[in-house]
Amino acid sequence: MAQSVWGTCSLFFLIQSVLGTSLYLAKRDEILTQEASHYSGIDVPLKGKEWAVNDVIMTLKNSEISEGRRTSDFPPAVHFFHALPYIDKSKVFEIIKLMPKGAALHIHDNAITDINWLIKNATYRPHCYVCFTHARGNILFHYYDNQPTDNNTCEWKLVETERANSGDAEAYDQMLYDKISMITDDPHTAYPNQQIVWDYFNAYFAAVDGLVFYADVFKDYFRQGLQQFYDDGIQFMEVRALLQPTYELDGTTYNSEHTLLEYEAVNTEWLNDHQHDSMGSRIIFTSIRSSTNEVINNVINLAMELHSKYPNFMKGFDLVSQEDDGHPLIYFLEELLIPTQAGKDLPYYFHAGETNWQGTETDENLIDALMLNSSRIGHGYAATKHPEVLLELKQRDIPLEVNPISNQVLKLVDDLRNHPASTLLADGYPIVVSSDDPATWGSTPLSHDFYEMFMGIASAKADLRLLKQLTTDSIKYSTLLEEEKASCMDMWSTEWDIFLDKVLEMYNITDWENYVPAPTETTITDGAAKLLCLNITPIILAIIMVNT
Ligand SMILES: *[C@@H]1O[C@H](CO)[C@@H](O)[C@H](O)[C@H]1NC(C)=O
Ligand SMILES: *[C@@H]1O[C@H](CO)[C@@H](O)[C@H](O)[C@H]1NC(C)=O
Ligand SMILES: *[C@@H]1O[C@H](CO)[C@@H](O)[C@H](O)[C@H]1NC(C)=O
Ligand SMILES: *[C@@H]1O[C@H](CO)[C@@H](O)[C@H](O)[C@H]1NC(C)=O
Ligand SMILES: [Zn+2]
C-alpha cells in the first residue's frame, strides 16, 4: 500500500517537473524565435540551389567558428594584419570572393587601387621623383620636368636613378611599398593610439597624392580601381572624391571640375566596355572637415553647381578626414543649409559618429547628419549610443555604411565581434558593407570586409540570407536612378546564379533539386522538437504506470 502511494506521488512529481521544464523550454523557444525574426535578412526568401549553397556555407562557417573557439585564434577577433593570412586560407572567404557583392558605397578616391599598381606602374614612368621626409610615413612623390632646385622641404631624387643604383629593383620596390602602406608586423606597437594611427593614415594619402594626381597617371589609376573592384565581384561603386587638382610636368594644374570630368571620361569608357555587367561609378564630392567656414561656403556653392551640371555623375556631398579632430557638422550649419535655403538640390552623405567618445561634438554629428537629411551615414559607429538616432534610422530607412576593417585599423575596435553593427544586424537596421580605404591596409576591394562582417560581426547563425540582404541593399541604397537600380539588380542576379553554380560545382553537389532545407530558427527548432517530445513522454509514462 505504502509502496503504491509512494509510486503515485513520484509519478505526480515527475509529471509536474517535466511539464514545468517543457513550459520553460516553450517560453525560451518563443523568445529565440521572436529574436530571430528581427535579424537582418531573416525574411529573404531562398529557393532551390540557394538552400544547398547555404548548407555548404553554414557547414564551413560553423567549422571555422568551432576552430576559432577551440584555438582562441579567430581571425575577426585579431588585428587584420595578423588575420590576413588566415582569412586568405579560409573556405568561407573563398566563397565570399566568388560572391557578387552589389555596390561599394563608401570608398575614397586615392585609396581604391592597390599600392602595387602605383609602384609597378606609376613610379616606373619617367620624371618620377621621391623624397624621404622626417614626418610620419616618411615618403612623398612628385613628377617634375627637371630636378627641382629647391631642396628646402625635401631632397627630391629621381626614382629611376635610385632604383638602378640600388642594384636590386625588387628590394627597392618593396621598400617603397613598406613606406607607403600602413601594413606592419606589429600594429599594436606601431599604432599605439588613435592619434598616431591617423597620422600614419594621413601620411598614406600624402604619399600617394603626388602619384595619383599627376595628369598622366590619374585616369589610369581610376580605371585600374574600377577593374580591381569589378574583379572582386562588385557591380557598382560610389567614390568619395576631394576632386583635387591634377597637375602636369610643367606645373600646370587644373580645377575640380576638370578632375570630375576626368573621372567621368574614364567611367564612360568603362561602361562602353561593360554594358552588361557593370554600372561603373558615381562621385560624391567631399571636402576636409578642418576647413574654414569660408572654404566650405565656396565648396558648397561649387558642389551645387557641379551637381546641377552633372546630376547623374556628381551625386552629392560629404565632409571627410578625422572626425574627432576636425570641425563638427554644426560648425558649418550656415554653409550646409545653403542648398535648402536656396531651394537647390544637394544630397548629403555624411560621415558621422566615427568615434569612441560619447557625448562629444563628434558623437553628436549623428544628430546633425539626420537633421540635414543625409541620405546615408558614413560609419555611424556611435549610433547604438543614441536611441533617438536609432529610431530615425529605422523610420526613415537610412542605412549606415559599415567598414569593418577600417574601424579596426583606425582603432575604434580591436575585436570585431564587439563591433556595434552586431547589435544593428540583430535588430534589422539598414546596413551596407564597404571598405573605406582598402589600398591603405592591403585588403581586397570588398571581400575581406564581407568576411569580417559575416564571420565576426554577424551572428554565428546568420546565413546566406544575410549575405543576400547586404549585397542587394547596397544597390537599393545607392545613388543610382530607379531604372539604373533595376539594371544593376539584373546584373547582380545574373552573377548570383553563376556564383551558386560555382559553389555547387566546387562541392560536387548535383542533387540540389531534391534538397530539403535544414530546419531554421523560424521553421522548427530544437526547442520545439524537445517540447513535443516532453509533452508526450509523461502521458506515455502515466499509461505504462497505470497498466502495471
Ligand atoms: C601602366 O598602365 C597603363 C594603363 O594600363 C599602361 O598603358 C602602361 O603601359 C603601364 N605602364 C607601365 C610602366 O607599366
Ligand atoms: C637638391 O638635391 C638634388 C638631389 O640630391 C641635388 O642634385 C641638387 O643639387 C640639390 N639642389 C640644391 C640647390 O642643393
Ligand atoms: C529635410 O527633409 C524634410 C522633409 O522633407 C524637410 O522638411 C526639411 O526642410 C529638410 N531639411 C533640410 C535641412 O533640408
Ligand atoms: C569534388 O570532386 C572532385 C573530383 O571527384 C574531387 O577532386 C574534389 O575533392 C571534390 N570536392 C569536394 C569539396 O568534395
Ligand atoms: Zn570614409
- The minimum-distance atom of ligand 3 relative to the CA of 340 is 14
The closest residue, in CA terms, to atom 6 on ligand 4 is 508
Q: What share of the chain is helix, strand, coil (3-state, %, to 5)?
A: 55, 10, 35
Tell me, yes or no, whether 518 lies in a domain.
Answer: yes
> Using one digit for the tens of pLDDT, what is the confidence trace for 328-348?
999 999 999 999 999 999 999
> Using one digit for the tens of pLDDT, what is the confidence trace for 259-283?
999 999 999 999 999 999 999 999 9
Which of these is catalytic: 238, 335, 354, 401?
A: 354
Tell me, yes or no, whether 49 lies in a domain.
Answer: yes
CA of 511 to the centre of ligand 4 (A): 15
CA of 473 to the centre of ligand 3 (A): 24
DSSP H helical segments within 352-396, as ranges? 361-371, 387-395
What range defines the domain where residue 28 resides? 2-74+502-547
Q: Is the CB of 157 under 6 A from ligand 2?
A: yes
Contacts for 393 with CB less than 8 Å, ≥ 6 apart: 370, 377, 380, 383, 399, 400, 429, 430
* Weakest mean pLDDT among 142-151, 213-222, 376-385: 142-151
pLDDT value for 4:
57
The closest residue, in CA terms, to atom 14 on ligand 1 is 121
Tell me, yes or no, whether 6 lies in a domain.
Answer: yes
Instruction: State what percent of residues in the chain have pLDDT above 90.
Output: 85
The closest residue, in CA terms, to atom 8 on ligand 2 is 149
Q: Which residues line ligand 4 (CB under 6 A)?
A: 507-508
448 is catalytic: no
Residues paired with 236 in a beta bridge: 103
Tell me, yes or no, whether 66 lies in a domain.
Answer: yes
Confidence band (pLDDT; 50, 70, 90) for 533? very low
> Using one digit for the tens of pLDDT, what is the confidence trace for 132-173?
986 666 899 999 999 988 777 788 999 999 999 999 999 999
The closest residue, in CA terms, to atom 11 on ligand 1 is 121
CA of 8 to the centre of ligand 2 (A): 104
Q: Is the CB of 147 under 6 A from ligand 2?
A: yes
Q: Which ligand is nearest to the CA of 344?
A: 3
281-320 exposure pattern, b = at least 16 Cβ within 10 A, e = fewer: bbbbbbbebebeeeebbebbbbbbebbeebeebbbbbbbb
Q: What would the grid cell of residue 56 be?
A: 555548404
pLDDT value for 182:
96
What is the total count of domains within the chain? 1
Tell me, yes or no, whether 290 lies in a domain.
Answer: no
> Using one digit for the tens of pLDDT, what is the confidence trace for 357-370?
999 999 999 999 99
Q: What is the mean pLDDT of residues 519-538?
A: 46
CA of 214 to the centre of ligand 2 (A): 22
CA of 156 to the centre of ligand 2 (A): 7
Tell me, yes or no, whether 176 lies in a domain.
Answer: no
Q: Which residues line ligand 3 (CB under 6 A)?
A: 337, 340, 372-373
Confidence band (pLDDT; 50, 70, 90) for 6? low
Tell me, yes or no, whether 517 lies in a domain.
Answer: yes
Tell me, yes or no, whether 117 lies in a domain.
Answer: no
CA of 383 to the centre of ligand 5 (A): 16
Probe ligand 3: pick from 370, 373, 396, 398, max atoms within 8 Å of CB? 373
* DSSP string across 16-76: HHHHHHHHHHHHHHHHHHHHHTTSTTTT----THHHHHHHHHHHHHHHHHHHHHHHS--GG
For the chain, give the mean pLDDT.
Answer: 92
- The minimum-distance atom of ligand 3 relative to the CA of 336 is 13
- The minimum-distance atom of ligand 2 relative to the CA of 155 is 2
> Using one digit for the tens of pLDDT, what is the confidence trace for 408-420?
999 999 999 999 9
Q: What is the pTM of this model?
A: 0.90
Q: Which ligand is nearest to the CA of 201?
A: 5
482 is catalytic: no
CA of 130 to the centre of ligand 2 (A): 13
Probe ligand 1: pick from 216, 220, 273, max atoms within 8 Å of CB? 220
Classify residue 468 by burial, with Cβ atoms within 10 Å: 0-12, 13-18, 19+: buried
Q: Is the CB of 179 under 6 A from ligand 2?
A: no
